[in-house]
Amino acid sequence: MHDHYETLQVHPKADTEAIRAAYGRMCERYAPERLEGAAEELQQLARQRREALDHAYAILSDPQLRAAYDAELAATAVTAEPDDAVQEAPAEDEELDYRPLPPAGRQERPPGFDTQPTRRRARAQARGRGAARPPLPEWVAPTVIVAVCTFAIVLTTLITTVLWAPTPTAVSGPQIIDPNVADPAQPNMEQMLSQFEAQVISARQVVNNIPDHPNAWLQLGNALYDSVMVLRERLDQGDLNVQSLYIERLPRWLEAADAYRRASELDPTSALAHADLGASLCYYGQSINDQNYIREGTIEVERALELDIMEGRALLGAGICYIFADPPRRSEAIEQWQRLLLLPDVEPGLIFQARQLLLEHAQ
């Protein structure tokens, strides 16, 4: 079925005036006097074009004929099979007439008007019949989620450490703070706690999405661990609000321990899971003065050392559990922290904690 709109090079929504103007311009371009002296082949092509223009204009200029033509054109477009368009696409070796036709005026052909919609649609459909992309492996999505959340939590922790953590000072004596002088570097406790709470919420969401991934449980344990440790480190400041909130959050040590335990169940060879599980239990046992938790925690950190004797967090946790024992196993604790200081490529935070513990308990 011939597309009369394409013949006149007008938009299907063009009004009568636009169609009349397009017809006049197209007829003028194919007028016989303009092709005098041209090859017979071109004159024959011009005659065919004029006949097609006359036929198209006769239909599109008559409202009734145009309405019937539009209905027939719409029905043809709806019922046409997709394969028909592909079959109509010319083969690569088919000879085509590439001699350009005179362009239509700007008023008759709006910007972006597709002069060959059928051919382009056929080529697009032909390309779309290529082989589908293979699906991604099932492990990709959980791994990406854990990696993104881990990065977010680590970034948040680094920002918190840089902005709010107290700067280590030289070991020349206790730091003297005048309570009457405001310290501009003093952290905003509410902002700090909100930051750690955001980490806990994010880690819980990850666990809910991928409950069978050990790293997700490790991150949840770390978030819970940090949210209560930040209060424990400030207990000696004498802030009653901090002390009250720490007591309120004591169960989080056990929540963290449960998260680490789940991670160790999913990955029994994870020294990190056993080390942090043991440290959480020992901190909780020391806080409520219950040696049962400390003994259980000691078993876990020693298990971590069996899995990886070079794991810094296992050495740090072992020393903590030993020092909390009753009676304290001071010499063994000091030995673990000293071994930690000798390890290559240890996290600066672990080095700092080990040195602080040695200064506190080696005397």
Q: Which two tokens stand for residue 184?
A: 């501009």
Of the segments 74-83, 153-162, 163-172, which one has the largest average pLDDT value?
Answer: 74-83
- Name all contacts of 230-238 with Cβ < 8 Å and 24+ positions apart: 230/192, 230/193, 230/196, 232/283, 232/287
Going by C-beta distance under 8 Å and a sequence separation of 6 or more, which residues neighbour residue 261?
A: 273, 277
pLDDT in the model for residue 146: 64
The number of angstroms, rounded, from the C-alpha of 185 to the middle of its chain's C-alpha atoms is 34
d(CA 34, CA 44): 13
Query: Higher pLDDT residue, 34 or 184?
Result: 34
Query: Higher pLDDT residue, 40 or 150?
Result: 40
The number of angstroms, rounded, from the C-alpha of 347 to the middle of its chain's C-alpha atoms is 27
pLDDT digits (tens, 9 = 90+) for 43-77: 788 888 889 989 989 988 999 888 998 888 888 87
Q: Count CB atoms within 10 A of the CB of residue 157.
A: 18
Q: Count CB atoms within 10 A of the CB of residue 36.
A: 8
d(CA 156, CA 101): 64
Query: Higher pLDDT residue, 39 or 146?
Result: 39
- Angle CA(90)–CA(95)–CA(96) in degrees, nearest 5? 75
For residue 199, which of 212, 218, 213 has the smallest C-alpha distance?
Answer: 218
d(CA 254, CA 231): 16
pLDDT in the model for residue 280: 96
User: Domains of the chain (ranges plus CATH)?
Assistant: 4-125 (1.10.287), 142-165+189-361 (1.25.40.10)
pLDDT digits (tens, 9 = 90+) for 211-267: 999 999 999 999 999 999 999 988 888 888 889 999 998 999 999 999 999 999 999
> Confidence class of residue 154 from pLDDT cuts 50, 70 and 90?
low
Average pLDDT, the chain: 78
pLDDT in the model for residue 162: 39
- Per-residue pLDDT at 317 exceeds 90: yes
